[in-house]
Amino acid sequence: MTDVDLKGKRPISPHVQQGAYKVTFSMAISISHRMSGVALYAGTFFLAYWLIALAAGPEAFETAQMLWGSILGRLVLFGFTWALMHHMLGGIRHFIWDVPAMIEKPQIEFLYRATLIGGVVLTGLIWVIGYAAL
């Protein structure tokens, strides 16, 4: 068998370290959708803690309310709300594509932007309504 030098003749893998990829808007939205899903898992544990404290009695519930009423607690709740809205809108976007509808490039870009902006707007709206109801 001959030893053939194949260096330079093999296809180059599009690996991130080789600079073949640049982060696009669609990539960022996809990544944020996945991250919001992970955040929802963590947030569900916090929601379960609150519900368990509610069932455990007034003292446990008061402790949970104090935790969620703090600045850090409200920041976590705000992030959970955004993750929920963003992930929900991402799911609706995928449902639209499953139909299939809005699969042309300009429509796809519109849905990406609508997901991002809609998540922020819905989160703000929920919090404004929540504070107005107090």
pLDDT score of 120 more than 80 = yes
Angle at 51 between CA 120 and CA 67, to 5 degrees: 65
- Map out the domains of the chain with their CATH numbers: 27-133 (1.20.1300.10)
Q: Give the model confidence (pLDDT) of 36-76 as tens digits.
A: 999 999 999 999 999 999 999 999 999 999 999 999 999 99
With contact defined as beta carbons under 8 Å apart, do 80 and 39 qualify?
A: yes
Does residue 99 surpass a pLDDT of 80? yes
Is residue 22 very low, low, confident or very high in pLDDT (cuts 50, 70, 90)? confident
Residue 93 CB neighbours (<10 A): 19
- Rounded to two decimals, what is the model's pTM? 0.82
For the chain, what is the mean pLDDT?
90
Q: What's the start-to-end Cα distance of the chain, in Å?
A: 82
In contact, 90 and 35? CB cutoff 8 Å: no
In this prediction, residue 18 has a pLDDT band, given cuts at 50, 70 and 90, of: low
What pLDDT shows up at residue 43?
94
Segment holding 115, helix H or strand E: helix 105-133
